[in-house]
């Protein structure tokens, strides 16, 4: 599983990445977590607001910080 956090590296983006990492570790999910900061890549993916999260190429969130419960639901689907 590949999880991408798209954003400039702002505090919300970093916190989102940390929260995802914590949930992945807690649930024992095997995943590669990548932080994409390149603005061209972000725009090419159709992201208008950050942070945005993609799991295996599918956008699951954009423009806000998720809660821990929301992150856990991503892995239950």
Catalytic entry in 1, 10, 34, 43: 10
Catalytic entry in 3, 5, 6, 13: 13
Question: Which two three-digit tokens encode residue 28?
Answer: 């024992």
Q: Which helix (H) or strand (E) holds 21?
A: helix 11-27
Q: How far apart are CA 19 and CA 16, in angstroms?
A: 5
63: annotated active-site residue:
no
51: annotated active-site residue:
no
Residues labelled as active-site residues: 10, 13
């Amino acid at each position: 599983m590949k999880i991408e956090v798209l954003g400039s590296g702002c505090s919300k983006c970093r916190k989102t990445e940390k929260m995802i990492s914590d949930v992945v570790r807690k649930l024992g999910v095997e995943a590669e977590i990548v932080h994409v900061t390149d603005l061209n890549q972000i725009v090419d993916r159709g992201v208008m607001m950050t942070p945005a999260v993609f799991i295996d190429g599918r956008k699951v969130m954009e423009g806000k910080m998720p809660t821990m419960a929301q992150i856990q639901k991503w892995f239950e689907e």
